[in-house]
A and B are shown apart, each in its own frame.
Chain A
Amino acid sequence: MNVTVNMTALMPLIILFAGISLTALMGTMKDSVKRLAGLVASISVVFAFWWVMERILPAIGTAAMESQSGMLTYSYYSVFLSGIVLITAVAAFALSEHYLLEEDFSHPEFYAILLASITGMMVMLNTSNFVNIFIGLELLSIPLYASVAYLRYKPESVEGGLKYFILGAIASGFLAYGIAMIYGASGSLDFITIVKTVKTDSLFRLGLLFILMGLAFKAAAVPFHMWAPDAYEGAATPVTAFMSIAPKAVAIGVLIRILYSVFPQMVDYWREAVLVLSILTVIVGNFAAIVQQSVKRMLAYSSISHAGYLLMGIVAYSVEGVSGILFYLAGYMLINTGAFGVLSLLKIGDDDFVSYDDIRGIGYRYPLLGIFMSVFMFSLAGIPATVGFMGKFYVFKALIHANYMSLALVGIGGSLVSVYYYLRVVVHMYMKENPEERKFNLNFLSMTVLAICSVLVIAAGLFPAKIADIANVAARFMN
């Protein structure tokens, strides 16, 4: 059997793997070398990003760039999502630097496992074969279980990791069984061959349902969200920032690709399932967020509700819907990195001060931090002139054009509810006096990340056309 290998397509994975090996080896070296691990990890991610944008992107036309008969497939769509994942990774590394030093628990292996998770995401996004989807999902998840439990002397961290692990293993069991059924029904694991053989018999339906369940779990959609609040709250805050964006973008992105381009004949069937999931997710996510006492846990539930808006975009089943989702993800990346980034600074030694009571008066004591957090909260709530508003606008517009008026209304209702708990954060920061004076160390690197995020949130909210155009192109060339 002849297999053509395209080295250009393989390079991003090779670069990331070099990063994994280097950072893992640095764990055995002198302390002065160990301190550079974050830098090495960031460089390998930036280099991979550069390679994808400079070498792979120009080679993609209306047809995707392939290697090894579809094992690796780069399309505009997958490159867009890969970009989101890689940028999130660099931001998370930058935030980790300060957080882990403050925690006094910085080890190079931390960066190695996060890099491995990123490699898994790249594999999962840029493929058209179910084997790679499965093995990529595992490479994404297994390091994430370990990185959630990274602060292993804290019970909540290990507990979050353990819950994530148990439920994640069940989800991968379902995904694998779903793939087995699709394989049994079509005789192939390759997307292109499956498209040709797709009928609508019941084996396909059940297989698709199982795959949907496996991916909905990774996206933290209700009722597969039970792990999310615990894992998000227990993990180190920069890991939470990473986890709330990248795996979600990958799960939603791969789900769209599987549903739209592998099972288009079964649209009536999966549309119902995604519809139910999205409504449940928006409602449960928003109402559970209201009652939380910790801002970090509130943001965990809020990220569940955002998965709901993204799933609503899938229901629209149009290019407009996909481009809305891609725009939403790009904006969501900026906002959530920023919001969790602010929380990652509210830390003295081992203790995180992230409850509503703890953030009282922050806006006066640290004006810059207050402004940043307000921008991110307004944007999450979907206040106009921010990127959060534009993302919701595009998704709901696509829904209305697809004649899903009532679903759009559910989404808008959810966003209105969410205004309450997002603004509560701002109110606590500015309205209440804090009896306790705490001295937080505002790290320059983290503040730079926050500044970039908040400027981009406003800029992309005022001038969304550029990103929207790119998202539109990406949405049209999925294969």
Chain B
Amino acid sequence: MEALVSFFSNYMLYILMGVTILTAVGVVYSKNAVHSVVALLLTMILVAGIYLMLDAEFIAAVQLLVYAGGIIVLFVFMLLLVALHKDEALRLFNTYTLISLGLVAFLVIMLAVVFFGTPFGPAPATVTNIVKGGSTEAVAGTLYSAYILPFEIASILLLVAMVGAIVLTKERGKS
């Protein structure tokens, strides 16, 4: 049992991370948009798994609900609406792409250098504020006290996203 736990906490995570990267690459490089959506769904689920490893149960659950349950469904609907069944040719080797890939390589190297150059301390054994039953209570305590204002603003944001989407379907000449 002890060995299993240590295997899980050490190697399983790297497998998870590796598969996440593979599926993310799948989103970007599959020629068919439907394949991309499925790969995106897998990426989201795997990232939720990584959140679980980081003791963020609540965030993991919301990730599944919002992304897998909401946003992915929106994407699928959209693909149905615009009836996209053609494969697309990727432009892999023109000058524009090469320049932008160069910039991207520069970006990832810069990020890696910065992250490796910063001395991060070890993780605390238990997260403060978490008593029992996971992080949900701690998240709720912070969200509904210190961060109540941004929470309300987020509700306006969602309302307005709805109004904005409605505006883009309005008929002409009825006012």
- Taking the complex as a whole, does A directly touch B, i.e. does some CB pair lie under 8 Å apart? yes
A residues lining the B interface (CB < 8 Å): 1-3, 10, 13, 17, 20, 24, 27, 31, 34-35, 67-69, 71-72, 104-107, 109-110, 112-113, 116, 119-120, 123, 129, 131-132, 135-136, 138-139, 142-143, 145-147, 149-150, 152-153, 181, 185, 201-203, 205-206
Docked-complex contact B167 and A150, CB < 8 angstroms? yes
Docked-complex contact A3 and B148, CB < 8 angstroms? yes
In the bound complex, what is the Cα–Cα distance between A109 and B163 (angstroms)?
7
Measured CB to CB, the closest approach of chain B to A200, in angstroms, equals 12
Q: List 6 A-B contacts (CB under 8 A).
A: A20-B159, A71-B149, A105-B173, A131-B150, A132-B153, A146-B167
Query: For the complex, is B94 an interface residue (Cβ under 8 Å from A)?
Result: no
Query: For the complex, is B25 an interface residue (Cβ under 8 Å from A)?
Result: no
A contact residues around B102 at 8 Å (CB): none
Docked-complex contact B170 and A20, CB < 8 angstroms? no
Docked-complex contact A203 and B170, CB < 8 angstroms? no
By secondary structure, the B interface counts as helix
Given contacts A107-B167, A146-B167, A152-B169, 9 further A-B contacts (CB under 8 A): A104-B172, A105-B175, A113-B163, A116-B159, A129-B150, A139-B156, A142-B161, A147-B167, A206-B110
Q: Of B13-21, B53-61, B84-92, B139-147, which binds chain A?
A: B139-147
B contact residues around A206 at 8 Å (CB): 110-111, 114
> Assuming the A-B contacts A1-B145, A105-B173, A142-B160, are A113 and B114 also in contact, with contact meaning beta carbons closer than 8 angstroms in the complex?
no
In the bound complex, what is the Cα–Cα distance between A180 and B148 (angstroms)?
20
In the bound complex, what is the Cα–Cα distance between A106 and B142 (angstroms)?
42
By secondary structure, the A interface counts as helix
Measured CB to CB, the closest approach of chain B to A235, in angstroms, equals 13
Measured CB to CB, the closest approach of chain A to B100, in angstroms, equals 12
In the bound complex, what is the Cα–Cα distance between A104 and B113 (angstroms)?
56
Query: For the complex, is B154 an interface residue (Cβ under 8 Å from A)?
Result: yes
> Assuming the A-B contacts A104-B175, A132-B153, A135-B153, are A145 and B164 also in contact, with contact meaning beta carbons closer than 8 angstroms in the complex?
yes
Docked-complex contact B114 and A31, CB < 8 angstroms? no
Docked-complex contact B170 and A109, CB < 8 angstroms? yes
Docked-complex contact B175 and A203, CB < 8 angstroms? no
In the bound complex, what is the Cα–Cα distance between A413 and B141 (angstroms)?
56
B contact residues around A113 at 8 Å (CB): 160, 163-164, 167
